[in-house]
Structure 1
């Protein structure tokens, strides 16, 4: 197989693996009556604490117009609340509520177990190499 065909094969393999992983994650979080984006917001707030809403969108890679909708949905579920920044009126923070924190305490270990199963087919050194290679590919793609 020549280099061009290997590159196309690598792209196909990466995209199919990504789709398969996303489907497993989608099913996992759906069992908690959440979609993947809602879960990503909750996970970010759970691990990083209160975040400016604009930052949340950037960190979980969704458009700023969509993050407002997601935060609204999470507020209706009483999992997240908005809080004004005392120093800058232009900034609003997203915060986990007590209910949101309790939910994440309950479901995150189960989610983490699913992720562990996904990567259970490779050794730790292979996982380190995979992370390194995917970062390099991602950075290269960002340059284009």
Structure 2
């Protein structure tokens, strides 16, 4: 039996993830990347949010969030509003169109993951689930 190193495991996990992202970009075909969808998802889950708070939660830099949100505002997938008490502070909020795009992105991702995991037997899927639960615990 071949012995795997931690680096081989990480490398193969990264390959699967990168492959999924590449396939998702082809299928979703909406001129938005995974990071844009993460921003939309955050706004859907948490409601109106400050960009700096979003950056912390998503593990992105504030300039990255600014760059991502500019495109989303231009496409009218999110709106920007200022704080009533302090005009220096502004908030972002997802629009109905943004929710539709988010739903399409999730459906595309689910379809890809379903196709990917159908390659595994039921026993292998159960093993994988247990492994991920253990790693996340």
Q: Identify the TM-score tier after normalising by the shorter chain.
A: 0.7 to 0.9
- The aligned residue for residue 9 of structure 1 is 8
- The Cα offsets for residues 84-132 of structure 1, whole Å up to 9 and x where unpaired, read as 3456666432111222223334553343322333333444533422423
RMSD after superposition:
2.9
Selected match of 1:68 from 66, 69, 76: 66
- The aligned residue for residue 131 of structure 1 is 132
Selected match of 1:38 from 23, 36, 39: 36
Q: In the aligned structure 1, how far is the partner of 2:6 from the partner of 2:104? A: 42
Unaligned runs of 5+ in 1: 137-144
Q: In the aligned structure 2, how far is the partner of 1:120 from the partner of 1:91? A: 47
Shift of the alpha carbon at 1:46? 2.5
Higher relative contact order (CA 8 A, sep 6+): 2
Q: Which stretch shows the higher mean deviation, 32-41 or 80-89?
A: 80-89
Q: Which stretch shows the higher mean deviation, 36-45 or 84-93?
A: 84-93
Shift of the alpha carbon at 1:72? 1.0
Task: Please give the secondary structure, in 1, of the residue aligned with 2:81.
Answer: strand
Describe the shift of the 1:117–1:65 C-alpha distance in structure 2 as closer, same or farther (beyond 3 A). same
- The aligned residue for residue 113 of structure 2 is 115
Shift of the alpha carbon at 1:62? 2.0
CA contact (8 A) 2:82 2:90 kept: yes
TM-score by length of 2: 0.73
Shift of the alpha carbon at 1:21? 2.2
TM-score by length of 1: 0.70
Describe the shift of the 1:126–1:55 C-alpha distance in structure 2 as closer, same or farther (beyond 3 A). farther
Q: In the aligned structure 1, how far is the partner of 2:131 from the partner of 2:86? A: 41
